[in-house]
Chain A
Amino acid sequence: MDHLDQLEAQSIYIFREAFGRLKKIALLWSLGKDSNVMIWLARKAFFGRLPFPALHVDTGKKFPEMYRFRDHYGKEWELDLRVEPCPPIDAVDPTLPPAARSAARKTEGLKMALAKYGFDGLIAGIRRDEEATRAKERVFSPRGLEGNWDVRDQPPEFWDHFNASPPQGAHLRIHPILHWTEADIWAYTKRENIPIIPLYLAKDGKRYRSLGDQDITNPVASTASTIDEILAELEQTKVPERAGRALDHETEDAFERLRVAGYL
């Protein structure tokens, strides 16, 4: 077993635990490279199908390429796709800095979708290496009744035993690719031939390393126009993956405040 095989086996194990131990789960599909790998892994776990809904909480501000990708592959992969809208910006905490406030719409949209369907588990494609607060996550991460995350009081999690009994009315976030890195995602995408959105590949000296909403995501300088070139670039770079995400850099604690409130 090589490194990618090990990552894959671990993620499949997590998917099967989530499906087996929770009553009503959904996968959060943000259309980006990570959640596409996640869908692929789920299909490996369940022999070709996704036996629960794929939920896209739509801010309405994604790139057109992303919407095209969603509509095409949602059909091709036979997903039970649920697109859920987000509330307008006025409904969001005005004390947050602008980019974080824009991102927080997604948190509210997520809460609305949770209330609508009553999911007890949401599968999310966050990774430990993306960002320092995500590094502190559990694989099965309980969320309070408000969808909030209490970083100070997280249950112990060891030997692949997960706390899968959220309190009545609360839900769990499940993170099947928490242990993957950005390079792992690309190496696996290449090996498995998983379709990608072309925005990740360099055009005119720029490419997106991470895709969010158009108004708060910027490309990075790059000449990497194939996955192999992306991998070579990642070997060399010291620029963090989310450098193009405005909300990470507004204030020291903006991202953490978002996460504590229930942001991914």
Chain B
Amino acid sequence: MNMIVTPASPATPNGTTRPQVRIVIVGHVDHGKSTLVGRLLHETGSLPDGKLEMLKAVSARRGMPFEWSFLLDALQTERDQGITIDTTQIRFRTNSRDIVLIDAPGHAEFLRNMITGASQADGAVLIIDALEGVRDQTRRHGYLLHLLGVKQVAIVVNKMDRVDFSAERFAEISDEISAHLNGLGVTPTAIIPISARDGDGVAERTDRISWYKGPTVVEALDRLEPARPLEALALRLPVQAIYKFDDRRIVAGRIESGSLIAGDEIVIMPAGKIAKIKTVESWPVTPIAGRQGAGRSVGITLDRELFLERGDIIAHATAAPRETRRLRARIFWLHDKPLAKGDQILVRSGPKESRASVVAIEKAVDPGELESRENKAIGRNHVGEIDISLSSPIAVDSYTENPRTGRLVIEVSGRIAGGGLVLSVDAGQRAVPVDIVPVESALRPDERSARYRHNGAVVWLTGLPASGKSTLAKALERRLFTNGGSPILLDGDTLRAGLNGDLGFSTADRSENIRRLAEVATHLARNGHIAIVAAVSPAREDRATARRIADIAFREIHVATPAEVCEGRDPKGHYKKARAGALASFTGIGNDYERPEAAELVIDTSTRTVAEAADEIEQMLKATGVLFDEIVDLAANI
């Protein structure tokens, strides 16, 4: 029996509408995390009956003074060693929030537990001992909070009693930790002086900190915001499984972002196959109507039998993720053996798993150290940036586009060894999507060329920085326009400000920059415009890719001004900076520019004027059938 129902929305548990916020308390070992937690539970009236008395009795039996931290150290081993071992989740309430507190351990050895705890948190409290100040583990935890995407961080300066509640000492620590966090793009929501043992600043402002006017810890927690669902982003439904328990073929997974409804047209990535959602299945009532949003675990059926498998990503056809075999990630590393170039790893992105190898370690630092020394490999508890080459294509987003699908986990021998954020995706090795049919323009190319008096083309100016590419490009643009044509200038630097803003200057990113330039230029050329591209494009391989993409519309011009002349001009001051070592990966002062061997035209701007050079380009464009000004005898060129 099939009936369509919309799931009812019952009241929240306990009949309340209080937001639930998950927080983690982190910081250097012995700076007082467990004491603060114990104190918070007591101050908010959250302890079970008899718990405090029981612990006091236990302390007395052992002949030890009572410690607030005993509340959490429920395990025998912990009391014996005096350190917190693992994440404990405890609940309490502030005025307007239900807080779930994840007590993350601070001992260096137990960083993986801190990450396990903090990865589930909406906000964090970073605790610092007023006497000891900011320590390596404080900095490391701050860095990891940033990597884990925890943006709400309150700072607590504890043990103020040990520094006589000195406002100066408090200001010193405030400045130091603010500087560290601001460098990571994290702004503390509050910085609070407290004594967790005595209670100052936890739930009330005592006389001893009368100079402090900000919120107490409880008030700061009360202002935290719960995590927002990601409905506003593009649909991402990673396929967890395909079930065929009966005559239905149900595609099951959790909507990580966006939303869906029966009837939606979707694309299955990385294959690029298109289908429609037939039904949204459920139990006990099925199918269900209504839109399903981010966070829901759903099951859908499709309107056609397609091959799909665990790890595929279902998206709307208009906003699909990119398919790639290369990506760059910023990761933290937890494995004993450091991660090095050439290592074979397993990458997990949601349910998708893919074997991969580390192509390059771009950065490797210990986030705990003040002076970040660059290492060759990423050691245990360190962070870094890596380039990964995947053995099979995956569909993935960069972290800035989608925080849920833009993160990945790395496994080594079946055990999670690290994780991190996808910084950029190199879609250079693209598969042609099977069912994506580009929409044709309403105009035929010959309609445009009749008006502009030229065919579409990609005029590609390559050469050293300051060789005169942009100057020539602009002169050519003006001239073609004056003659009634439709030139469009694409400068490498211009696109980097927007479309290519996610790309850096690594080899992989430069290739991707060129690929995108070529794609955009080719689209313009196919629609009858002359796209003038001015880009250093030093790699022969990248220019060959551009030529492949633009195909017969491609015209390469090598602006072959001698290197010393280019450096003499230096309009942007880049050569000067590069010589001073302040500009990494700058083409020009090394031998990294690969000269074209079969350019349609070679121009040395040091021996002719701009107008003369523009003439030469125009002649070439006429001779190769782009411009119509003269009747071109094509046969003469054969």
Contact = CB atoms under 8 A, between A and B. Distances in A.
State whether these chains interact. Answer: yes
Interface of A: 1-6, 8-10, 12-13, 16-17, 19-20, 43-49, 51, 128-129, 132-133, 135-136, 138, 151-152, 154-159, 161, 163, 165, 179, 181, 183-184, 187, 191, 231, 234-235, 238-240, 252-253, 256
Those 8 A-B pairs whose CB atoms lie nearest each other, nearest first: A132-B74, A158-B119, A165-B414, A156-B112, A12-B297, A187-B13, A136-B86, A161-B409
Nearest to A240: B48
B72 A252 contact: no
A124 to B, nearest CB: 17
12 contacts: A3-B20, A6-B295, A9-B254, A16-B241, A20-B240, A47-B248, A48-B284, A129-B91, A136-B85, A158-B116, A163-B416, A239-B48
Contacts of A12: 254, 297
B286 A47 contact: yes
B85 A152 contact: yes
Nearest to A43: B283
B278 to A, nearest CB: 15
B9 interface: yes
A132 B88 contact: yes
B327 interface: no
A231 B13 CA distance: 9
A1 B293 contact: yes
Given A16-B297, A47-B250, A181-B91, A136 B75 contact: yes
B240 A17 contact: yes
A156 B348 CA distance: 14
Nearest to A193: B284
Given A156-B115, A239-B48, A16 B252 contact: yes
Contacts of A47: 243, 245, 248, 250, 281-283, 286, 299
B318 interface: no
B86 A163 contact: no
B354 interface: no
B49 interface: yes
B189 interface: no
B119 A154 contact: no
A194 to B, nearest CB: 11
Interface string B266-293: 0000000000000001111010000001
B282 to A, nearest CB: 8
Contacts of B563: none
Interface in B53-103: 58, 72, 74-77, 85-91
A156 B10 contact: no
A61 to B, nearest CB: 27
B524 interface: no
A49 B414 CA distance: 30
Contacts of B15: 231
B376 interface: no
B75 A13 contact: no
B254 A13 contact: yes
A3 B12 contact: yes
Contact of B116 (A5, A46, A156, A231): A156
A146 B419 CA distance: 30
B237 to A, nearest CB: 12
Contacts of A49: 245
B77 A151 contact: yes
Nearest to A138: B116
B513 to A, nearest CB: 30
B334 interface: yes
B572 interface: no
Contacts of A234: 14
B13 A3 contact: yes
Given A136-B88, A159-B407, A5 B296 contact: yes
B47 interface: yes
B297 A13 contact: yes
A19 B116 CA distance: 23
Given A3-B13, A181-B91, A256-B76, A159 B310 contact: no
Contacts of A151: 75, 77, 85-86
A9 B297 contact: yes
A159 B89 contact: no
Size class of the B contact interface (CB-based, 8 Å): 35 or more
B104 to A, nearest CB: 12
A129 B415 CA distance: 27
Interface of B: 9-15, 20, 47-49, 51, 58, 72, 74-77, 85-91, 112-113, 115-116, 119-120, 148, 229, 240-241, 243, 245, 248, 250, 252-254, 281-284, 286, 293, 295-297, 299, 310, 334, 348, 351, 407, 409, 414-416, 419
Contacts of B254: 9, 12-13
Central interface residue in B75, B85, B115, B248, by most chain A CB within 10 Å: B75
A241 to B, nearest CB: 9
B14 A129 contact: no
A1 B419 contact: no
Contacts of A43: 283-284
Contacts of B74: 132-133, 135, 256
B415 A159 contact: no
B51 to A, nearest CB: 8
A183 B13 contact: yes
Contacts of B148: 158
B295 A1 contact: yes
A19 B241 contact: yes
A138 B253 CA distance: 22
A182 B624 CA distance: 78
Contacts of B299: 47
> Which of B120, B243, B248 has the largest number of chain A CB atoms within 10 A?
B243
B295 A252 contact: no
B50 to A, nearest CB: 8
Determine which residue in A6, A51, A159, A184 has the highest number of CB atoms from chain B within 10 A of its CB, and name it. Answer: A159
A156 B14 contact: no
Contacts of A3: 12-13, 20
Given A1-B296, A136-B88, A16 B10 contact: no
A155 B334 CA distance: 10
B72 A132 contact: yes
A20 B310 contact: yes
Contact of B10 (A20, A154, A191): A191
A24 B88 CA distance: 30
Contacts of B282: 44, 47
B115 A239 contact: no
Given A151-B75, A159-B119, A165 B415 contact: yes
Contacts of A235: 14
Given A4-B12, A20-B240, A51-B245, 20 more contacts: A1-B293, A1-B296, A2-B11, A4-B13, A9-B296, A16-B297, A20-B310, A44-B283, A47-B283, A129-B89, A133-B74, A135-B89, A136-B87, A154-B86, A156-B115, A156-B334, A158-B416, A161-B419, A252-B58, A256-B76
A155 B76 CA distance: 21
A165 B76 CA distance: 29
B250 A158 contact: no
A98 B299 CA distance: 48
Contact of A152 (B77, B87, B116, B283): B77
A159 B408 CA distance: 9
Contacts of B113: 154, 156
B414 A163 contact: yes
A88 B283 CA distance: 41
Contacts of B115: 156, 158
B348 A1 contact: no
A6 B19 CA distance: 13
Contact of A161 (B10, B85, B253, B348): B348
B10 A4 contact: yes
Contacts of A239: 48-49
A48 B283 contact: yes
Contact of B14 (A128, A152, A183): A183
B13 A184 contact: yes
B419 A158 contact: yes
Contact of B416 (A20, A128, A156, A253): A156
